[in-house]
């Protein structure tokens, strides 16, 4: 295994949000996820779980460098701002430090920008300084370059810390085309906003593709865990296979 592949694998590992958002996820499955978050090659950036499992994850990973992310308004991007804020506050209370919010993308598709902006802003205001808001734009469902760009612009204007492609629950998840739009919108904004590719990212080649896009558009070294993430469940095995081979 080449040195470049190993370095890419290490870079991807450090940027990984290790995820279990299966509909039938159990406490035992979350415990297994937690156990995998700290590897012989380093820790993942975060684990991402349903709100009901945040307290368990937070207690188990206390004192580690692994952050706790949880999903809000997931996966359908519903339109109740009050509900989104309430669940956010509960997840933060239980120990989450990162919130992955599905924006009301169906509303945006029908031309209602206000509810998208208002929800992101309301959730952002509920999150304390030092914690992050990742906005899930569900780019595969928007399926229009101008609409994806507008979703990204609204999220940045409303105070999002990250633009995230997808829930991973729709037929089309992350794509290089959508990633390019989000990364170019971040660059054009001049804001310190990160990017998260999520859904269908399973191999080292997949990870390398998105890292290369970030390097091309925003410069080598920009894609660090503070500004770049992968949301995945299967990617860890692929990365460890590369890294273990180098031992």
**Which residue numbers are catalytic?**
100, 164, 196
DSSP string, 128-174: PTT-EEEEE--HHHH--HHHHHHHHHHHHHTT-SEEE---S-SSS--
Strand 228-232 and strand 194-198: pairing?
Answer: parallel
- d(Cα 5, Cα 83) in Å, to the nearest integer? 43
Q: At what angle do helices 81-94 and 113-126 cross, to 10 degrees?
A: 20
Give helix 3-14 / helix 235-245 axis angle, nearest 10°: 140
* Distances 193 to 35, 36, 184 between C-alpha atoms, Å: 30, 28, 11
Of the candidates 239, 243, 242, the one whose C-alpha atom is nearest the C-alpha of residue 230 is: 239
Phi and psi angles of residue 237, each rounded to the nearest 5 degrees, phi first: -60, -40
**Nearest Cα residue to 209 out of 237, 186, 177, 241:** 177
Q: Is 209 exposed, middle or buried (0-12, 13-18, 19+ CB in 10 A)?
A: middle
Q: How far apart are the first and last CA of the chain?
A: 10
State which H helix or E strand residue 224 sits in: none
């Amino acid at each position: 295994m080449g040195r470049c592949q190993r370095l890419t694998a290490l870079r991807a590992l450090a940027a990984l949000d290790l995820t279990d958002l299966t509909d039938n996820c159990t406490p035992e499955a979350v415990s297994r996820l937690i156990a995998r978050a700290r590897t012989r090659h380093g820790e993942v950036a975060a684990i991402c779980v349903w709100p009901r499992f945040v307290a368990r994850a937070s207690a188990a990973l206390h004192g580690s460098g692994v952050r706790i992310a949880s999903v809000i308004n997931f996966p359908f991007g519903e339109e109740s701002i009050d509900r989104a804020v309430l669940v956010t506050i509960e997840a933060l209370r239980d120990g989450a430090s990162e919130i992955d919010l599905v924006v009301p993308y169906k509303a945006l598709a029908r031309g209602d920008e206000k509810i998208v902006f208002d929800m992101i802003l309301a959730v952002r205001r509920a999150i304390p300084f030092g914690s992050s808001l990742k906005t899930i734009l569900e780019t595969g469902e928007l399926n229009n370059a101008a609409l994806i760009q507008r979703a990204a612009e609204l999220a940045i204007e409303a105070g999002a810390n990250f633009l995230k492609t997808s829930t991973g629950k729709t037929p089309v998840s992350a794509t290089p085309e959508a990633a390019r739009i989000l990364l170019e919108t971040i660059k054009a904004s001049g804001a310190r906003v990160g990017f998260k590719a999520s859904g269908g990212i399973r191999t080292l080649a997949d990870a390398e593709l998105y890292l290369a896009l970030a390097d091309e558009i925003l410069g080598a070294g920009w894609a660090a865990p503070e500004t770049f993430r992968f949301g995945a469940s299967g990617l860890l095995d692929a990365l460890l296979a590369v890294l273990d081979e180098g031992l």
